[in-house]
Amino acid sequence: MTKLSGYFYLFAEQGEELSEELITEITLEKILYAISAIALSYLLLVSIQFLTTWSSEKVPRRYRLLIKQSVPFWKGLVLIITISYLINLFLNLSGQNLLALTGTIALTLGFAFKDYTTSIIAGVVALFEAPYHVGDRVKIDEHYGEVTDFGLRGIRLKTPDDDLITIPHSKIFSEAISNSNSGKLEAQVVTNFYFHHEEDTEAIIEILYQAAYSSKYTQLKLPIVVIVSEKSWGTHFKLRAYPMDARDEFIYQTDLTRRSKKAFKQMGLKYPNLTSKFELTDAD
């Protein structure tokens, strides 16, 4: 018998020895109490999700994310109370039993629900390290969107195409996480423009500033910057500005592009003549 097999046998043996003392008498009354507790817990979780979403849209905008970010705390509190009640209902948790039970559960979860357990542990880590909050706009792997829900096992992202993607918390151990606003209401938006080398750079910069300053979505308390870089195929302009609410990111980009192009058309500006020889990269 190998050393590892010996550990398995020891844990299994502990489980058999404790099975009669650990589990209390199971009665119909206890089963009904357990079903009621689970049903009540489910209703509370649904109610928390509904009430926080509803109330966050009713309060002043600066408090919206604060309310949404409290969802993981309330959900975690409900789950801890429910699980503690169920354990107390069916198990006799003396000090010795608790120690042996911890080992048995760790062994079972470690092998049967390895990925699930890793995600739950990562979820606890995420609560403290906070690489993302509800309401943040994040990029994980190739997925980008707004965090709409923070669950026990993972988060839900709402993409620009209105898809909902579930991503396990365990990704924080292996993937780089890009967060655009880190719990704040504003997030910088970059809008790209491209022109021929011969066009008037100063005139284009002036139009972009005017478009940003006059947009109803712009947060004027934060800086607006235009970055210019020369490429082999033309001149690249990046308009960096902040909308008042990060969830307006794509509407804001559309507004800036639409009104800027109107002014560009009036001035008769030429766009670069791109051929198959030149290809834009992600950096462009």
Q: What residue numbers bound the domain in which 237 lies?
A: 189-267
The CATH number assigned to the domain holding 254 equals: 3.30.70.100
Chain-wide mean pLDDT for the chain?
82
Domain membership flag for residue 263: yes
Q: Is the pLDDT of residue 240 over 90?
A: yes
The pLDDT value recorded for residue 274 is 66
Residues 15 and 117 in one domain: yes
Q: Provide the whole-model pTM.
A: 0.63
Give the separation between CA 40 and CA 50, rounded to whole angstroms: 15
Say how many domains are in the chain.
3
Which whole number is the average pLDDT over 118-123? 78
Residues 207 and 260 in one domain: yes
Q: Is the pLDDT of residue 173 over 90?
A: no
